[in-house]
Structure 1
Amino acid sequence: MRINVLQHTPNEGIGSVGAWAKENHHDLFIYHPYFYNGVLPTADETDLLIILGGPMSPNDSDDWIMAERDLIRTLIKQQKPIFGACYGAQQITKALGYTVTKSPVKEVGWDKVYLESNIIPDIPKELTALHWHEETFQIPHEAKLLFSSQYLTNQGFILNDNIIGLQFHFEPEDVNVKEMVTNDFAYIKDSILGQTAEDILNFDVPKENKTVMFKLLDFITK
């Protein structure tokens, strides 16, 4: 399988997606469309699309953002698996014609998310994930709510059993969290979670997050 990753900022990398790809002997290619003049993979050379987070908004009008959405729509029509984290999930919903708006709260730091659907087996009812956002997506009508949190209902969805969008992050490993906080620490200000950069760094990444990330990817590629 060829996995094409769309990475949108240097400090939000693939995390455990890389370990999953290696364990399953998949080929992994990383694209940086925000930097390299909008270079994107084609749909035909994509078996699984991973869309990572970033500081931009899907409501921005950059040509590469629109091109990403064209790619997403094509892959949806081809019934290929897609996973989106944060901005990536927002791009999926925008591609389907739904809205992305300012969130009622800014969530930056570690907080619990709650499972809202049993469609994927053996997912814990409660997990602690990394949040790094202040926008939120509208759940597509044809999708199922997958996760929620105490501050935001629309934290995750699953569509057609092969597309998952999460507003938060299960994929970061320790080194990824350090990179995010080191470079984007100013963004932590005014988060409702009330955590400092030191709080976020000193919190051990839950081991079950990698396990759950593997289960999510296994499910949409089965």
Structure 2
Amino acid sequence: MNDLSYRFEARRRLRTRLDALPPRKPVLIVLHQEHSTPGRVGRLIAERGHALDIRRPRFGDPLPQTMRDHAGAVIFGGPMSANDPDDFVKAETDWIGTCLKEDAPFLGLCLGAQMLARHLGATVYSHAEGRAEVGYYPLSLTEAGRAHATASGCIWPGIVYQWHREGFDCPTGAECLATGGDFPVQAIRAGRKAYGLQFHPEVTLAMMCRWSVRGHERTLMPGAQLRHQHLDGWYQYDPPVRAWLDSFLDHLLKAPAEQDSIA
């Protein structure tokens, strides 16, 4: 079977599996730029039978008053700060309370994680020496993170892709699951179903190429890695990230009865 035939057959099998699935609620996707995409996270969610309800509050899209019609929500990153005074930043940060109140699955990525931290009363800050994490950096699990990995069956990657110059403290009442270098808090969990990740598991190779060209100046900041290091790192470090994300989304989007069995 040639490559084209293999891809056609793979898509046919995927469509067959999706057609056999019972109807699933959509997942709310919050993006911050006109041409942003949910990347690999969006693709993997769609493969699980969920439609993507994509909204951009920055451009006037409303956020739902309840999560009863959604299976979960993901707030992605962006060039703005969670500390910015813009109305949409405050609206998104406040809206996270809807997910927390209803115990709905929530995932914040980079800016989305910082919004979660801010909502819970933690500080979002720039590095005192102006350093940034842009490229691939080590990730270390805390004791809480190791316990979560055991309970959920998610094998966390040891090196992840970063693109940020701000970090956040772990909010009171939340758990720090993973730590890093210049920005120590890398992953948090609030309750059972709300997660914030400082890193970017959604990034595809195409997204990495686009970011590292359009945001070239970020790769020159103190602590950042040059563009060729990003591309070299993709082939070395991405497979464990991809495998972890696949299992993590299974865990995040489990039905409520299944979630009850995981502390």
Q: TM-score, normalised by structure 1?
A: 0.90
2:248 corresponds to which residue? 216
**Structure 1 unaligned spans of 5+:** none
Find the partner of 2:49 among 10, 15, 25.
25
d(CA) in 2 for partners of 1:150 and 1:98?
A: 19
d(CA) in 1 for partners of 2:159 and 2:114?
A: 21
Higher mean C-alpha deviation, range 49-58 or range 106-115: 106-115
Higher mean C-alpha deviation, range 21-30 or range 112-121: 112-121
Higher helix share: 2
d(CA) in 1 for partners of 2:176 and 2:196?
A: 10
Give the partner amino acid of 1:214.
Answer: D
**Structure 2 unaligned spans of 5+:** 1-24, 255-263
| Pair 1:202–1:49, CA change in 2 (3 A) | same
Find the partner of 2:187 among 156, 165, 172.
156
Kept in 2, the 8 Å contact 1:93–1:139? The answer is: yes
Give the partner amino acid of 2:220.
Answer: K
SS at match of 2:240: helix
Give the partner amino acid of 1:40.
Answer: L
Higher strand share: 1
d(CA) in 2 for partners of 1:186 and 1:10?
A: 21
Higher mean C-alpha deviation, range 90-99 or range 7-16: 7-16
1:144 corresponds to which residue? 175
| Pair 1:182–1:147, CA change in 2 (3 A) | same
Deviations along 1:185-207, one digit per CA (max 9) or x if unpaired, are 112222314x2122213332511
Are 1:82 and 2:113 matched, yes or no?
Answer: no
Shift of 1:169: 1.1
RMSD across aligned C-alpha pairs, in angstroms?
1.9
SS at match of 2:164: strand
d(CA) in 1 for partners of 2:161 and 2:230?
A: 9
Shift of 1:38: 5.0
Are 1:37 and 2:60 matched, yes or no?
Answer: yes
Shift of 1:46: 3.2
| Pair 1:125–1:22, CA change in 2 (3 A) | closer
2:149 corresponds to which residue? 120
- Number of aligned residue pairs: give it: 220
Structure showing greater radius of gyration is 2
Q: TM-score, normalised by structure 2?
A: 0.77
d(CA) in 2 for partners of 1:26 and 1:207?
A: 24
| Pair 1:72–1:172, CA change in 2 (3 A) | same
2:115 corresponds to which residue? 91
| Pair 1:148–1:11, CA change in 2 (3 A) | farther
Deviations along 1:89-134, one digit per CA (max 9) or x if unpaired, are 0001111222111134311111111122121334446522111111
Deviations along 1:164-195, one digit per CA (max 9) or x if unpaired, are 101111121111211211221112222314x2
Give the partner amino acid of 2:221.
Answer: D
